[in-house]
Structure 1
Amino acid sequence: MNPKYISKLVFSVFSLAFVFAKTNAQVTIGNTQTNGSESNNIVTAVPFLLITPDARSGSMGDAGVAVSGDVNSSSINASKLAFLEKPYGFSVSYSPWLKSLVPDINLAYLSGFYRLNDRNVIGASLRYFSLGSIQLTDINQQDLGISNPNEFALDVTFARKFGEEFSLGSSLRYVYSNLASGQFVSSGQVKSGNAVAVDVSGLYKTNTHMFGKDAILSAGANISNIGTKMSYSDGGVNYFLPTNFKLGGASTFIVDEFSTFTLAVDFNKLLVPTQPVYNSSGQIISGKDPNRSVPAGIFGSFSDAPGGFSEELKEVGISTGVEYWYNQQFAIRAGYNYQSPMKGDSRYFTMGLGLKYNVFNIDFSYLLANAQTSPLANTLRFGLLFNFGDKKIVKN
């Protein structure tokens, strides 16, 4: 049998399991979620929202909450839009995803911004995740036909600058997930999942002098996907969105009149309940009941791991990256992303290039990992950015 058919067949079984299983809401291919991490005891719907679509951040180990902004800032920290100098711009990004497992999964991202005045900026973006053409089967391997599952998120964004060093941003997001809509199982008809969410972000940056060089220090934070739960059937289980807290810093050194060098580090933590440990009777013997409200899930996510504080620390992922610009025209980037083996085990190096000419930028990233152990090995991301108009002089 064709290996590609086998991989799609396996995926279809796990896709249906995703919709109906009460203990696991993650879309998986084997043991891999669609964001590239391994399945673990933190359960969410639509994990594709955790994928970094931006090739620039992707080449810096997915770090970027505090680095200088561009058109793609809405995907990682919307408040950075307020510091953009151009009056308007747009971008398009594309990545073949999990291509070592299934050949036709891909992620596309469109974004744009428009400066209203010296302080206020609006933006919009669309993130589209296609899972390709799938041969659906039930648990008895009966043919359920061909499906083209897909998910997308549509955002509108507002960012405002306060003085010369601080900005706030927020995004309103509509999320749609169509995995096996119209299919019937014992629990009823499968429907598309829908949810509404918001992001809240902030950025602080200041000019300083370090190691004998002029420098820009910045700190950023973004809480993303704070929203309603998602269900795939009437009366079915409601799943948390992947609410994520990203906190980071960056230092940009002005090496000379031609060169700048940036070092960035981000910390990430999912703000959703960790699944407890149950006994054979279904009673919780360690951890806390995950069936709670969204606010309770967010605040309780810092203290609900069955393994206590040591397990909570394992839920924090780390992204680090560096970027070198020559004459603001050519960039070289590299980074490293780390997740605990217990909490996703997504560990890889990244590298990439950037080219700026006139009104457009081209970004490219490549993910380096062991092809035998990481489904993300050899992942490519591409980005094309356009910025138009003369630079704006932002006043206090």
Structure 2
Amino acid sequence: MFLKRFSIFLVVVFSATQSYSQATARDWLLQLNTITTAVPFLIINPETRGGGMGDVGVSTSPDGASQHWNPSKYAFIEDKAGVSISYTPWLRALVPDISISYLSGYYKINKMSAVAGSLRYFSLGSIQFTDQRGNNTVQFTPNEFALDLSYSRKLSRRLSAGLTGRYINSNLTGGQTVQQATTGPGRTGAVDLGVYYENEDLTVFGKDATLAWGVAVSNLGAKISYTNTTSRDYLPINLRLGPRMTWMLDDYNKISVAVDLNKYLVPSPPVYQIDSSGNLVIASGMDPNRPTVNGALSSFYDAPGIVSFDQTTLEAQVESGTRLGEELREISYGVGAEYWYDDQFAFRLGYYGEHISKGNRKFVTVGAGLRLSVFGLDFSYLVPAYFGSTNLQSSPLARTLRFTLTFNFDDVKKDNDGPPSE
């Protein structure tokens, strides 16, 4: 029903972006155990600052786009209010018209609390639908969006918490009938929970320093469905945590280093086998059709590991230690650095890594930022980085650019007030 381009997009989002022309059976077994969810656009970084730092952001200093990473950071933001607009052409190595747009804004209620909102829009470009015989039916632009509203508050001088409510709308088919099932937009709700800690009263290597850490669970909500059947899919529930350290080198120069660890809180795909009655049964792992909360909690111990089958009895055997190993492989990571000169010019560098069996996204990012009295402008660029690999296909993430424009209302007020009278 869908054109080849749309199929390629789903494969890229839901599976590995790299393949080897000569792979052993064990390699393919690992590659085929990628975790898949509905509405994966919710997990794509839509903003630029984190995009230049290896997709890190759970503990970076608060900014206008903190809604995506950790809403609790807004309680520590210094400005009264602000707005940011981001645009990312997505998967341009495959197709020319897929993009993510992101609008976010915040308002500091008082010194202890803040509110924020955001709108994320994902356009999959124009797609020609066909029937089962390949005849053209309608042309439609699949799209998805998420509308967020958050509240954050300081719990103490150095600790804050935040909560985000999210409405999700995913319209991938335009109401077309797919395999005799009537389809429609998928709609659901979700929440984000975040905690942020920041200590500015440190001295490290003889320099004033700030230590921060953050923890956030995002997209915790009910499953979503696109048809009138009972089949429903998990949201990309994600656990993100990590620290940041910032050093004030002098009055004009500072540098920050941050690390993010990510893990999906959704079931790992089990390994199946055919029993003596010809039924498909689970050989290792757990039934993926579990309630949302149960699936999130059990996602820490449900990996099937490496399974081999006795060629005579067909009995499944799990290799020792591979279940724990697979759980650890489900953790992806980002490492990023940011340098500021006089709080006006920024340069960023980062790396993101994911195991080959769980998606195989690996890339280096670079970025830069400029802050003027009222406006700020940021951009980032992504370069695939498969170190030490051979027989590689080009990555669909290659040459990904992100742009963000920020607007600071505090600075507008300061400019309008002008210099103090003598």
Q: TM-score, normalised by structure 2?
A: 0.85
CA–CA separation in structure 1 for the residues paired with 2:44 and 2:288 = 24
Cα 1:76/1:139, change in 2 over 3 Å = farther
* Offset from partner CA, 1:6-33 (integer Å, 9 cap, x none): xx83034x3xxxxxxxxxxxxx527311
Higher mean displacement: 183-192 or 225-234: 183-192
Q: CA–CA distance in 1 between the matches of 2:187 and 2:301?
A: 29
Given the alignment, which residue of 318, 322, 336 partners 1:321?
A: 336
Runs (5+) with no aligned partner, structure 2 = 19-31, 306-322, 386-391, 414-422
Aligned length: 371
2:358 paired with 1:364: no
- Correspondence 1:295-374 to 2 at 5 A: 295-307=293-305, 308-369=323-384, 372-374=393-395
SS of the equivalent of 1:234 reads coil
Map of 1:384 onto structure 2: 405
Give the distance between the partners of 1:361 and 1:314, measured in 2 at CA.
Answer: 38
Preserved contact between residue 319 and residue 337 of structure 1 (Cα < 8 Å) = yes
| Correspondence for 1:78 among 71, 74, 82 | 71
> What SS does the corresponding residue of 2:164 show, helix, strand or coil?
strand
**Gap change, CA 1:391 and 1:66, over 3 Å in 2:** farther
Deviations 1:211-231 (A, max 9, x none): 111100000011000001000
Alignment of 1:248 onto 2:246: no
Q: Which residue of 2 aligns with 1:232?
A: 226
1:238 partner SS: coil
SS of corresponding position for 1:141? coil
| 1:298 partner amino acid | A
Go from structure 1 to structure 2 and tell me whether the alpha carbon gap of 1:30 and 1:52 turns closer, same or farther (over 3 Å shift).
Answer: closer
Q: Does 1:50 align with 2:43?
A: yes
**CA displacement, residues 236-284 of structure 1 (integer Å, 9 cap, x when unaligned):** 4100000000001000000000000000001000000011111133100
Task: Give the 3 Å change call, closer, same or farther, for CA 35–66 of structure 1 in structure 2.
Answer: farther
Matched ranges for 1:216-295 at <5 A:
216-280=210-274, 281-295=279-293
Q: CA deviation at 1:139?
A: 4.8
Q: Give the Å deviation of 1:43.
A: 2.0
Partner of residue 20, structure 1: none
Q: What per-residue deviation string (whole Å, max 9, x for no partner) do you get for residues 339-382 of structure 1? A: 00000000000000000000221110000126943110100000
> Is 2:209 the partner of 1:211?
no
What are the Cα deviations for residues 293-324 of structure 1, in whole angstroms up to 9, with x where unaligned?
00100001000010111000000001000000
- The alignment partner of 2:356 has SS state of coil
The TM-score with structure 1 as length reference comes to: 0.90
Amino acid at match of 1:257: D
Q: Distance in 1 between matches of 2:40 and 2:371?
A: 32
Q: Deviations over 1:107-135 (max 9, x none)?
A: 00000011111111001000000001001
* SS of structure 2 residue aligned to 1:269: strand
Distance in 1 between residues matched to 2:102 and 2:70, nearest whole Å: 15
Deviation at 1:137, TM superposition (A): 2.4
Q: Residue 82 of structure 1 aligns to a residue in which SS? A: helix
Q: Which residue of 2 aligns with 1:202?
A: 195
Q: Distance in 1 between matches of 2:412 and 2:364?
A: 35
The DSSP-based 3-state class of the residue aligned with 2:357 is coil
Query: For 1:138-176, what per-residue CA distance to the aligned partner results, in whole angstroms no more than 9, with x for missing partners?
Result: 454232321110000000010101232111011000011
The structure that has the greater radius of gyration is 2
Corresponding residue for residue 175 of structure 2: 182
Q: CA separation in 2, counterparts of 1:367 and 1:35?
A: 19
Tell me the distance in 1 between the aligned counterparts of 2:14 and 2:372.
Answer: 34
TM-align CA RMSD: 1.9
**Structure 1 residue runs of 4+, over 6 Å off?**
none
Change (3 A) 1:40 1:103: farther
- AA paired with 1:267? L
Q: 1:64 to 1:135 in 2, by over 3 A?
A: same
Q: Aligned residue for 2:124? A: 131
Percent sequence identity over aligned pairs: 46
**Following TM superposition, by how much is the alpha carbon of 1:35 offset from its aligned partner in structure 2, in angstroms?**
9.8
Q: Distance in 1 between matches of 2:223 and 2:72?
A: 25
Alignment check: 8 A CA contact 1:35 1:47 kept:
no
- Return the offset for 1:186: 3.5
Distance between the aligned counterparts of 1:325 and 1:50, measured in 2?
A: 27
Q: What is the CA–CA distance in structure 2 between the aligned matches of 1:40 and 1:174, rounded to whole Å?
A: 29
Deviates more, 1:251-260 or 1:371-380: 371-380
Q: Which residue of 1 aligns with 2:89?
A: 96
2: distance between equivalents of 1:185 and 1:118? 53
**Mean Cα displacement is larger for which, 228-237 or 168-177?**
228-237
Task: Name the CA distance, whole Å, in 1 between partners of 2:73 and 2:89.
Answer: 27
Question: Amino acid of the residue matched to residue 163 of structure 2?
Answer: S
